[in-house]
Structure 1
Amino acid sequence: MTPLLRTPDASSGPATPEHRAELTAEAARLVDFARSSVHPDGGFGWLDDQGRLVREHPVELWLTCRMTHVAALALLAGDESTAALVDEGVRALRCRLHDDVHGGWYAAVGPDGPVKDAKESYGHSFVLLAASSALRAGRDGARELLDDALAVHDARFWREDDGLVVDVWDRGWTELEDYRGVNANMHTVEALLAVADVTGDERYRQRALRITTRVLGWAAGNDWRIPEHFDSSWTPLPDYNRADPGHQFRPYGATVGHALEWSRLALDLAAALGEQAPRELRDGAEQLFRGAVADGWAADGADGFVYTTDWDGSPVVRQRLHWVVAEGLAAASSLFAATGEPSYAEHYATWWAYAREHLLDLEGGSWRHELDPENRPAATVWSGKPDVYHAYQAVLVPRLPLAPSFATAIADGLLD
């Protein structure tokens, strides 16, 4: 079967040879910036606005995993120089960040050991993703890492009765936080699609379907604004973090970028399932996208996506975060591929022009992580430029099929 390409036809949007060349160059530029994140104590650290390593910042699990994943994709795409980066990530995940006593991975480590020893589903989902990509890239230790991560996922995080993952355990796996969250489940879907492609185990693709179906159901019942926060019985907590609306991982209200990210993931899942895919995956992807654009883009009169909105769609945190635009680009490109509707290519063109003007930092490197409501550089939610994951994937999406997932597609020679 011919892969369903994410790219529109050659007359518009991401399909033009010139733009594909631009995306290829941007991918290389992002990887070059991120090379400096190797921490001398092991793993990948935090970068400031100029790409300098902030050595005093803890090495965080999610960041180390994301960098390992990006390096593996770059290696698969032909950049042999990133092999050492993948190996660094695998080594840190098997050693420095791993809890050899209780199993699983610390959320963050410093010079003297763990500084945050909670076992977070969010970070563990990225261990699955990093291990899958490293395994597809053929790196030593990746199979053992993935086997370990899957054992922890199966035993500690996945809840068969719920069809979802739980969120945060203590170090010894004795106390489970009452909080349940959609963010960790979203990245688990991404990881499980990659795991299914690498291992051939359909069980993980079906888990991704169960998670996605539940989230789309919650969104459909809430005007397509995804409830993000829940108690231990999966009852929504609509006022959660009202006093801390700009939280990096658990902000109050509806998170515009997550609606866009779920839109893309629903399409990826539908493509992976093929003829067995429920129609509501594509329908839900379109509804989430439309709602996010209506609520989030230029919501206060200036270009850019706001970070969050209230439950009536009005802006709450008006900062413009780079990852939201990246996910918008990925979703628009994917929806054009799935539907052929010209409006999606038009959105893509608008947002790429915005990114080129406001986010791509051609002097300092990478993408500016945060802008204020007037599109000036800011640092109220995020400081520095620690993460290239969202931007890197955004510049790959228009050049790849909807399925299989990133590492498998590149390994199979499907990068256009």
Structure 2
Amino acid sequence: MAEPLPALMLPVSSWLRLAPHRRWLDMQGQRLLDFSKPARVEDGFAALDDDGRLPPHATADSTISARMTHVYSVAAGRGLPGCAPLAAHGVAALLGPLADHENGGWFLTPAPDGALPENPRKQAYLHSFVALAASSATVAGVPGADELLARALAVWQAHFWSEAEGVFRESFAPDWSDEEDYRGANANMHSVETCMAAADVTGDPIWRHRALRIAGRFIHELARGADYHVPEHYSRDWVLLKDYHRDSPTDALRPYGMTPGHFVEWSHLLLKLEAALLRAHGQAPAWLVEDAAALFRRGMETGWARDGAPGLLYTIDWDGTPVVHNRPHWCQAEAMTAAAALLKRTGHQHYEHWYRTLWDYIDTYMIDRRRGGWIQELDRHNRPSAVVYEGKADLYHAWQATITPLLPLAPSFATAVSLLEG
């Protein structure tokens, strides 16, 4: 599928116009895919160490398994050898050992011998990725993907979606009792991506409408009211929890304070949602692009090189003071993706500058040419660190960063690849 208007808006000198740059992106993406292939284990996929090896007694992780299934499904749609069998393995794991066959839904890890896993709660974050994996696998024609998608969307809608609030609920006990007293921006942010994919695959516009409601609540209402900072932690009655995880500032999913990397991640999701709405319905709220630009500006102001060294740091306090100076790889990937999306959408040279700056940073500090993959985290001096993230478990963020500039803003990854490559 062509993307004529954004292509015309790109500066003449843009890297996105250059065939060598596009080949470089494709090559980096394929290197990441090859590096992560050893993550396959019997019950799904597990986290790799810094050398790309499975640690002793490695066990499947459902979130990693869903993300791997999504990525390898899209890669299979591009005709890359070895990817379709891995996508099929992921679908089988999500239909089998990672699922709760008694109450429905998915556990974070396999249930040992029919007993509950160590953490048995059903989490919206994981279920969003299961639905994303199922959507991508369905487009790729992976065996069992249709069944997985039907199950995932049914569970997601029945238990997690709150029609009254226009957001997804956070977590439950295995039998869907004991709803957590929490409303979180992170799980809902990833749900926006999944809703767009589900709408493309099922043809049901309700999912796109839900993505817009989520963005309206967390960004156009709450973040806009906070001068485009993105508070993430709320109680079920929408009281902001400013002290949430104060004693756990390096939590990998719900850290204390605010996360500039999420500001920029929301930025490109809003642009993709705008494009999806325009493509499907011919109209989209004007605030989507306005808020996207403001979020990118605020994210880079509050997170980039705050301590004198390049890189987007992990978290800031409520007054903007840095809390965790470490630079997770996903923050850089999402900032680059946002710069690319804004560049395509607006043609402004400002975003070309950031696009180049971020790729130069990633290439200089994060691409591991000795051991493979990307270094997952750097400290404030841009040296390898493992305070928040150990090993090289995450393929999802880095790989999507390499393919996003090659695709239009809409439709979603798997559907776009099927149209472009078909």
Specify the TM-score bucket, using the shorter chain as the normaliser: over 0.9
Structure 2 CA distance for aligned equivalents of residues 391 and 383 of structure 1 = 15
Structure 2 CA distance for aligned equivalents of residues 243 and 27 of structure 1 = 37
Alpha-carbon displacement from aligned partner over 1:174-195 (angstroms, at most 9, x marks no partner): 1111111111101111101000
Structure 2 CA distance for aligned equivalents of residues 270 and 28 of structure 1 = 29
Alpha-carbon displacement from aligned partner over 1:249-279 (angstroms, at most 9, x marks no partner): 0001111111111001000000001132100
Residue equivalent to 1:408: 415
TM-score by length of 1: 0.97
Which of 342, 349, 353 in structure 1 is aligned with 2:356?
349
Residue equivalent to 1:14: 16
Count of aligned pairs between the two proteins: 414
How far apart are residue 101 of structure 1 and its match? 0.4
Structure 1 CA distance for aligned equivalents of residues 347 and 155 of structure 2 = 40
Structure 1 CA distance for aligned equivalents of residues 51 and 6 of structure 2 = 33
Residue equivalent to 2:130: 127
Query: What is the one-letter code of the residue matched to 1:66?
Result: R
Which of 370, 385, 391 in structure 1 is aligned with 2:392?
385
How far apart are residue 2 of structure 1 and its match? 4.8
Alpha-carbon displacement from aligned partner over 1:225-248 (angstroms, at most 9, x marks no partner): 111001011221122111111110
Q: Secondary structure at the match of 2:324?
A: coil
Describe how 1:6-405 pairs up with structure 2 within 5 A.
Answer: 8-9=10-11, 11-39=13-41, 41-109=42-110, 112=113, 114-216=117-219, 217-274=221-278, 275-405=282-412
How far apart are residue 80 of structure 1 and its match? 3.1
Q: Percent identity?
A: 47
On the 8 A contact 2:11/2:349 being kept in 1, the answer is no
Structure 2 CA distance for aligned equivalents of residues 373 and 56 of structure 1 = 32
Sort the Cα spacing of 1:69 and 1:243 in 2 relative to 1 into closer, same or farther, 3 A.
same
Alpha-carbon displacement from aligned partner over 1:92-122 (angstroms, at most 9, x marks no partner): 0000101000100011226546332210000
Structure 2 CA distance for aligned equivalents of residues 99 and 326 of structure 1 = 33
Structure 2 CA distance for aligned equivalents of residues 116 and 57 of structure 1 = 17
Structure 1 CA distance for aligned equivalents of residues 15 and 81 of structure 2 = 30
On the 8 A contact 1:5/1:399 being kept in 2, the answer is no
Q: For structure 1, which runs of at least 5 residues remain unmatched after alignment?
A: none
Sort the Cα spacing of 1:265 and 1:180 in 2 relative to 1 into closer, same or farther, 3 A.
same
How far apart are residue 55 of structure 1 and its match? 4.4
TM-score by length of 2: 0.95
On the 8 A contact 2:87/2:142 being kept in 1, the answer is yes
Judge which range, 149-158 or 51-60, deviates more.
51-60
On the 8 A contact 1:360/1:366 being kept in 2, the answer is yes
Structure 1 CA distance for aligned equivalents of residues 56 and 173 of structure 2 = 26
Q: For structure 2, which runs of at least 5 residues remain unmatched after alignment?
A: none
Q: Tell me which stretches of 4 or more aligned residues in structure 1 moved more than 6 Å.
A: none
Q: Secondary structure at the match of 1:316?
A: strand
Structure 2 CA distance for aligned equivalents of residues 147 and 397 of structure 1 = 27
Structure 2 CA distance for aligned equivalents of residues 317 and 205 of structure 1 = 34
Query: What is the one-letter code of the residue matched to 1:378?
Result: S
